[in-house]
């Protein structure tokens, strides 16, 4: 299976529907074989590799290669809708493995941001930060309750200094992470509130990739794991896949680990 090297490589390699189908088939997103639902005999690929067919006197059947796959029902001409469907996959991938940060001897830094509807709460922090962790925050009023939980809570008073002189505690690294998360919002000249969780999920997913990962190779792997091709799906009996409009868990966590330090970002509408 060829690895995506660059956008130029894509343009040179995928020149028409047949090569696009081959590209997706190599990654397991399309069926490698299909049986006719009527006669249960093997079907063949035809029409440039974009349809399965069986043309016999006793049985005549044709079906798109997208039927029964994640691609079914997606309009190829609507780019924004493609983007939303991909972000939905990323949200599902994140929900499969909720982030758990910290432990004794580890540090987690928390910071809130001015996003509409954001409301960090202690029970969400407890869900993602393990007991015994040292938690560093600013003096925002929602955070004092952390000292009553199973955390060592260090606070930084920004009206006095940006780095606590006694403990060395600061939240500059997590604020830098927020700045990265907001860059996409600036490029889009703003984001509708309803679309904000989707974009933050994409940012979270991308930050979770290790240096050796390529996003273009990683997303087909997530699609294959979450939405593998279904052999029982046929147009006459199986309706077009209905995708939920719910984008993601509304708790968005971004982790950035560095030696014994960890950063966390929460958005909880």
Last residue of a domain, one of 43, 65, 87: 65
pLDDT at 133 over 70: yes
Contact (CB, 8 A) for 128 and 98: yes
Same domain membership, residue 105 and residue 61: no
User: Which tops the pLDDT comparison, 21 or 123?
Assistant: 21
Q: Whole-model pTM above 0.85? A: no
Last residue of a domain, one of 33, 65, 97: 65
Question: How many structural domains compose the chain?
Answer: 2
Same domain membership, residue 108 and residue 18: no
Q: pLDDT value at position 250?
A: 38
pLDDT band at 94 (very low <50, low <70, confident <90, very high): confident
pLDDT at 238 over 60: no
pLDDT at 148 over 90: no
Q: Residue 237: inside a domain, yes or no? A: no
Give the least confident one: 102-116, 147-161, 189-203, 244-258.
244-258
Percentage of the chain lying above the pLDDT 90 cut: 8
| pLDDT tens readout for residues 47-56 | 677 888 888 7
Regarding beta strands 152-156 and 252-258, do their DSSP bridges make them parallel or antiparallel, or are they unpaired? Answer: unpaired
| pLDDT tens readout for residues 156-176 | 887 777 777 777 778 777 778
pLDDT at 220 over 80: yes
pLDDT at 29 over 90: yes
User: Which tops the pLDDT comparison, 151 or 234?
Assistant: 151
Same domain membership, residue 117 and residue 50: no
Same domain membership, residue 25 and residue 102: no
User: Which tops the pLDDT comparison, 98 or 217?
Assistant: 217
Q: Residue 234: inside a domain, yes or no? A: no
The chain-wide mean pLDDT, for the chain, equals 75
Q: Residue 34: inside a domain, yes or no? A: yes
Q: pLDDT value at position 225?
A: 94
Same domain membership, residue 10 and residue 124: no
Same domain membership, residue 118 and residue 90: yes
Last residue of a domain, one of 45, 65, 85: 65
Q: Residue 29: inside a domain, yes or no? A: yes
Same domain membership, residue 42 and residue 141: no
Parent domain of 205 = 76-226+244-269
Q: pLDDT value at position 224?
A: 94
């Amino acid at each position: 299976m060829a690895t995506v090297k660059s956008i130029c490589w894509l343009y040179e390699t995928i020149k028409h529907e047949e090569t696009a189908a081959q590209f997706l088939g190599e990654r397991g997103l399309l069926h490698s074989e299909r049986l006719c639902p009527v006669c249960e005999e093997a079907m063949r690929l035809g029409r440039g590799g974009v349809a399965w067919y069986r043309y016999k006197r006793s049985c005549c059947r044709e079906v798109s290669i997208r039927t029964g796959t994640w691609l079914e029902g997606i309009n190829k001409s609507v780019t924004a809708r493609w983007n939303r469907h991909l972000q939905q996959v990323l949200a599902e991938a994140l929900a499969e493995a909720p982030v758990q940060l910290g432990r004794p001897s580890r540090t987690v830094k928390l910071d809130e941001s001015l996003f509409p509807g954001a409301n960090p709460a202690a029970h969400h922090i407890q869900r993602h930060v393990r007991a015994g962790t040292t938690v560093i925050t600013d003096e925002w009023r929602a955070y004092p309750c952390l000292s009553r939980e199973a955390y060592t809570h260090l606070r930084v008073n920004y009206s006095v200094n940006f780095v606590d002189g006694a403990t060395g505690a600061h939240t500059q690294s997590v604020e830098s992470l927020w700045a990265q998360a907001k860059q996409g919002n600036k490029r889009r000249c703003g984001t509708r509130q309803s679309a904000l969780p989707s974009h933050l999920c994409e940012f979270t997913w991308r930050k979770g990739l290790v240096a050796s990962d390529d996003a273009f190779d990683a997303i087909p792997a997530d699609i294959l794991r979450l939405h593998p091709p279904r052999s029982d799906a046929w147009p006459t009996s199986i309706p077009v896949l209905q995708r939920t409009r719910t984008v993601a868990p509304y708790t968005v966590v971004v982790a950035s680990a560095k030696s014994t330090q960890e950063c966390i970002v929460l958005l909880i509408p």
